[in-house]
Amino acid sequence: MEMGRCLLSSQLTPLLFSQIPSISLSLAHCRSISCKKYQPQKKKRLLLLHGFGIYTPFFNSSTPSSSSSCTKAVLSPEIPNQKKNYSKVAAESTGPIPFNQLLPVVETAATTGAQVVMEAVNKPRTITYKGLTDLVTETDKMSEAAILEVVKKNFSDHLILGEEGGLIGDSSSDYLWCIDPLDGTTNFAHCYPSFGVSVGVLFRGKPAAAAVVEFVGGPMCWNTRIFSAVSGGGAFCNGQKIHASLTDKVEQSLLVTGFGYEHDDAWATNIDLFKEFTDVSRGVRRLGAAAVDMCHVALGIVEAYWEYRLKPWDMAAGVLIVEEAGGVVSCMDGEIFCVFDRSVLVSNGVLHAQLLERIGPATEKLKKKGIDFSLWFKPENYRTEL
């Protein structure tokens, strides 16, 4: 089956992931990470070039590879990165675990969770509620259990933060896995095609490796595509290198945002921002799956995404994928971002300052009202470089 081809049957077909070819990476390491005020770096950065290859086998390996692969990633030509003067949020490396050992496990964990979701996508849902409108399904729990099994089998001493299961493992570990087993549960419950599985790994508090499996299509033609990134290794979709868009005008941009379940001051402020940017851009979308939204920025099909009140499992994978695709990440008040923060703005980088001209002051007003923007959560005893 080729990705993107409609399955003309109401019967569920087995999960098929597109075949991933060997990936040849040649990337620049540009590092300058802290949690201080967001501002361009004054010192010239050291450019270290690395060349390496990755191959991660996918499930259903018997599926023949084809030159006419499904759903192609949006590719941009190689250009000089004009956004290197922004502080990075990624880890400087994957630590003592080599990237070619860590990333395959991250991808396997995400695709294993996605198998569980695919098996359930056309079946009746068992839905419960964490809040008035905050859904959780049995599929969320089963996907997380499958992901945990993969992680524990390979790295039994790592710390894990899952949306459904909370914090487990060794808090003295340098590695923290942030798992969203079904990002966009409400969309999944309605068979609306904007949901996915997100797995991000932090090394000492900073994103080091990531994979997001996005579900595309819809009823009777479900399929998937996988986004992945490793610190300093670029961003990929279905094995092809991707780059954020080069759009440099807000009025020519397509933007994305999200709204939490609490209809409080932050929610009202973002409603106002939604209106403002709708007036000055080509449009603002609200799709309902943070990790997927960020991957769309990395893919170059939208220019920016922002949201208040996200959690580490919502952001850990997506922010790394955006940054490795040449984009920029900050908090919504303009400060340098870390995964434990309570707001995020990701963009193609070219538009970042223009977006902050509106988003920054709105967020500062919230802070003056006493809205808490301190770090949401950092596991006790977990070592970070923040």
Which residues participate in the annotated binding site for Mg(2+)?
163, 180, 182-183, 314
Residue corresponding to tokens 């707001």: 343
* 347 within 8 A of 297, measured Cβ to Cβ: yes
Residue corresponding to tokens 């692969």: 69
CA distance 111 to 150: 10
The token pair at 152 is: 């524990």
Q: What is the number of other CB atoms lying within 10 angstroms of the CB of residue 198?
A: 34
Residues belonging to the binding site are 163, 180, 182-183, 314
* 52 within 8 A of 99, measured Cβ to Cβ: yes
Residue corresponding to tokens 């490796």: 209
CA distance 99 to 333: 32
Sign of the torsion angle spanned by Cα atoms 218, 224, 228, 234 = negative
Number of H helices, E strands in the chain: 7, 17
* Residue closest to 301 by CA, chosen among 320, 322, 278: 322
Bridge-based pairing of strands 175-183 and 195-203 is: antiparallel
The token pair at 305 is: 């995404």
Outline where 44-137 has alpha helix (H): 99-120
Residue 227 in 3-state DSSP? strand
CA distance 188 to 215: 9
CA distance 222 to 113: 16
CA distance 323 to 346: 8
Q: Which residues contact 166 (CB under 8 A, 6 or more apart)?
A: none
Give the length of the chain.
386
CA distance 284 to 270: 12
Q: What angle separates helix 352-368 from helix 265-280, to the nearest 10 degrees?
A: 150
